[in-house]
Amino acid sequence: MPGQANRLGVMMVGVTDAVRQDVTIRRGLPTDEADLLALDQAAWGPDSGFPSLTEGERDSFFTERSKPEDHLVALYDERIVGYVKLVPRYPFVEGDGVYGVYGLAVSPQARGLGVGSALLTASEGEARRRGGRKICLNVLATNAPARRLYERHGYEVVGHARAEFVINGRLVDDYSLAKFL
């Protein structure tokens, strides 16, 4: 059934506007680390992320604050082509039900295949399954493709921080977006 996890934890994402049937989503596994690290290095650029976080050599993708189970992984032709990190936004009971997307990346070769849409659809389903009522995320003003993707999925701008970051010598705005589930 589309959008439902099978017994192996694989999300079979059905066809909608921009979601392809041949993109599957599953939970992250410790064995995904090398592939996710390579994807992370390839996917982020100065228009979409922070160069200081992707420059240089890293030997691990997963950390104490970013565990395999915090990620949903997209597969296309049995290869990892994207991920989304979805975790509770707040560590206290008053914030229960609010989830945060802290990274959504798609390999440059898989862009335009519906991978980002599949990951967003799956993360919304996962948040609902966990009792979520809202998802929040941030996106740089320079990342127009991601902003369009989020807007197509019903995310609304709830905050705008002007000149929040300096990336490669230029001031960059940051947008906060949210969607009620």
Domains of the chain: 10-180 (3.40.630.30)
The reported pLDDT for the residue numbered 20 is 56
pLDDT per residue of the chain (181 residues) written in tens, 0 to 9: 344 444 334 454 433 334 457 899 999 999 999 999 999 999 998 899 998 887 777 889 999 999 999 999 999 999 999 999 999 999 999 999 999 999 999 999 999 999 999 999 999 999 999 999 999 999 999 999 999 999 999 999 999 999 999 999 999 999 999 999 9
Distance of CA 166 to the CA centre of its chain: 23
Write down the pLDDT at residue 114: 95
Decide: 120 and 153 in contact? Cβ < 8 Å.
yes
Residue 144 Ramachandran class (φ > 0 left, ψ -120 to 50 alpha, else beta): alpha
What's at 63, amino acid-wise?
A: T
CA pair distance 103, 18, nearest whole angstrom: 20
Residue labelled with tokens 């799956």: 122
Distance CA 157, CA 2 (A): 28
Q: What share of the chain is helix, strand, coil (3-state, %, to 5)?
A: 30, 35, 35
